[in-house]
Amino acid sequence: ARDRFDANFNAAASSDRLGAGRDRQEAAGDRSHSAADRESASADRVTSARERAASSIDELTGAHRRDAGLVELAREMARAKRTKTPFVLAFIDVDGLKATNDSLGHYAGDQLLSGVVNTMRAHLRGYDLIVRFGGDEFLCGLLDLSMQMATERFFLINADLAASRNASITAGLAELEPGDSLDSLTARADAALRGQRRQRPPART
């Protein structure tokens, strides 16, 4: 009887150990699945962020699309006001796009637009915002630059465009004032652009 009791006890203990082992394996499996789920969720978030970033960029020029770019410009303006840092907004018109499209075709016009943006990037800082406002018009936000420094940058951009691409831009600049909204600053930059147009001889459209 004692032998049968010991045998039954040992069998029960062995069964308990097997059960505990299975429980540990299941728990490890649950942890593995949980880690995999977290990794999958993290990958989904990264993919979603990349998709949002890609959707905010103009495919032709690499500039920000209008809606996303205006949001970023408003943030830069708010930062400039908060830190009392100079901020200049440039309203830019690419000269001669219609004439290029009419005489050389739209592919040449596309090359002109992308070339202008590439040239601007070469003379601006990596964090300066360039926004395609529409067609041949762009906005450029320049944080921590004075009006004089911004004017000099666009002079160099035009000199480079003339030498390398036989192209030019017209830029109207407006400096941020305490009461400005993005709309009011854009309107003043647009007015400055039109003023530049009036001061120059008739150009290609």
Give the mean pLDDT of the chain: 85
pLDDT at 74 over 70: yes
Q: Please check whether residues 105 and 152 belong to one and the same domain.
A: yes
Q: Average pLDDT of 171-197?
A: 97
CB 84 within 8 A of CB 78: no
Same domain? 41 vs 111: no
Q: What is the mean pLDDT of residues 71-87?
A: 97
Q: What is the pLDDT of residue 161?
A: 97
**Within this chain, do residues 121 and 20 fall inside the same structural domain, yes or no?**
no
Residues 108 and 187 in one domain: yes
Residue 204 in domain:
no
Domains: count for the chain: 2
Domain that holds residue 21: 1-55
Residues 101 and 10 in one domain: no
Percent of the chain residues past pLDDT 90, beyond the cut: 69
- Residue 48 pLDDT level (bands cut at 50, 70, 90): very low
In this structure, the answer to whether residues 89 and 32 fall within a common structural domain is: no
Residue 19's alpha-carbon distances to 28, 46, 147, 164, in angstroms, are 14, 40, 77, 78
Tell whether 46 and 105 lie within a shared domain.
Answer: no
Report residue 28's pLDDT band, with 50, 70 and 90 as the boundaries.
Answer: low
The CATH number for 114's domain is 3.30.70.270
51 and 71 fall within a common domain: no
| 5-19 residue pLDDT tens | 455 545 555 566 656
Q: What is the pTM of this model?
A: 0.74
Q: 166: pLDDT confidence band, cut at 50, 70 and 90?
A: very high
Q: Which run of H or of E encompasses 9?
A: helix 2-55
Statement to judge: residues 40 and 83 lie in one domain: no
Q: pLDDT at position 200, please?
A: 74
Q: Are residues 109 and 194 in the same domain?
A: yes
What ranges make up the beta strands (E) of 144-194? 169-175
Q: Are residues 6 and 38 in the same domain?
A: yes
